[in-house]
Structure 1
């Protein structure tokens, strides 16, 4: 029991960490000033208030499950990620280490918790995941474009080149031969460009 009191004394003025203690009735019997300032919302103080008053309703069960683990193994710390009301209709994401408080007779008196705000970290992680999804989607579209260029666009170009070659085997006047030559050159240049673009989209993956 003395260990958690030492932790309270050490961190009571911390502006980075939150320290709280909850009794067996599920009420706060200690809250650090930093925690009270950030999460009391509509209360003057959280002292004596139910622990779930600060929580997202879906996270109450997490606290109950972790609390049971703490009492089953009172010498261990157990982690929990919990969403707390921010007072503006949203939530602050917090990370906690939780430990059972036992009296001199080995009976549970509550839990002691040390936590901190990880909202920025989680938001950054979500942004990175979103960016990765966008990149993967873009790569998928590039592959699709490459396939279309390789199979759907080059085929008619190849047909045009073939038709020009066939045309050149027939009797053409000088003007028609010149036109056929220019068409052949343009079609071959277009084929090379399409191949280069296809290779580029393939390299992008």
Structure 2
């Protein structure tokens, strides 16, 4: 990178209200970063530069490391692409992982037409991920309720309707009537249990 370019990017990073980083991908470390990034994660700028080595290996969640590396690899394979995007968890200084969405674009290519430096923009998407998790929990509840409505409620209701038809029939004696009433009571109890389970799934957090 030429000196003038480096100065421009350095100033851009310093004044940016969002996270902007210029990364030397061949050496796998930061060239410059906005103060927002380190402040948001709780690190000093010096600490953040140190942690940037090997593409932030020390603070990227182990389960998300391959997502990050695959995104970089995809960009290397398509350097003409406008950008590549991924969502990963990054360790804050308080030892809590924070969901960050990365957009990565090539800034400069080397003599072999391979990415030399890239521009990354990071956004805090923790609230979005929390909301998505809550939605998935609610969808799971709806699936359970739907299953119980479709399968566990239908059976007892059909049984009750059948027993009622037998009760309404003109030809049965007292002992048969008692047996039908016993079956009806047992089915109603089962129906009440299923309704209670559905209500419980509806109110559980």
TM-score, normalising length: structure 1: 0.66
Native 8 Å contact 2:109 2:117 kept in 1: no
**Offset, 1:26:** 1.5
State the partner residue of 2:105. 99
State the partner residue of 2:68. 63
Q: Which has the larger radius of gyration?
A: 1
Give the whole-Å Cα distance in 1 for the aligned partners of 2:14 and 2:105.
Answer: 17
In structure 2, the CA distance between the partners of 1:42 and 1:31, relative to structure 1 (3 Å rule), is: closer
Give the whole-Å Cα distance in 2 for the aligned partners of 1:63 and 1:39.
Answer: 18
Native 8 Å contact 1:4 1:112 kept in 2: no
**More off after superposition, 49-58 vs 118-127:** 49-58
Unaligned segments of structure 1, at least 5 residues: 169-182
1:141 to 145, 148, 151: 148
Give the whole-Å Cα distance in 2 for the aligned partners of 1:124 and 1:92.
Answer: 14
Give the whole-Å Cα distance in 2 for the aligned partners of 1:155 and 1:5.
Answer: 84
1:146-183 Cα distance to aligned partner (Å, 9 max, x none): 41343222222222222xx2369xxxxxxxxxxxxxx9
Native 8 Å contact 1:22 1:29 kept in 2: yes
State the partner residue of 1:38. 40
What CA RMSD, in Å, does the superposition of the two structures yield over aligned residues? 3.5
2:87 to 81, 86, 91: 81
Aligned pairs for 1:100-119 within 5 A: 100-102=106-108, 105=111, 108-119=115-126
In structure 2, the CA distance between the partners of 1:135 and 1:107, relative to structure 1 (3 Å rule), is: closer
**Offset, 1:47:** 1.6
1:93-120 Cα distance to aligned partner (Å, 9 max, x none): 1111112232675564332201101111
Give the whole-Å Cα distance in 1 for the aligned partners of 2:6 and 2:126.
Answer: 26
Give the whole-Å Cα distance in 2 for the aligned partners of 1:141 and 1:3.
Answer: 64
1:151 aligns with 2:168: no
State the partner residue of 1:20. 21
TM-score, normalising length: structure 2: 0.66
**More off after superposition, 121-130 vs 95-104:** 95-104
Unaligned segments of structure 2, at least 5 residues: 196-205
Count the aligned residue pairs.
171
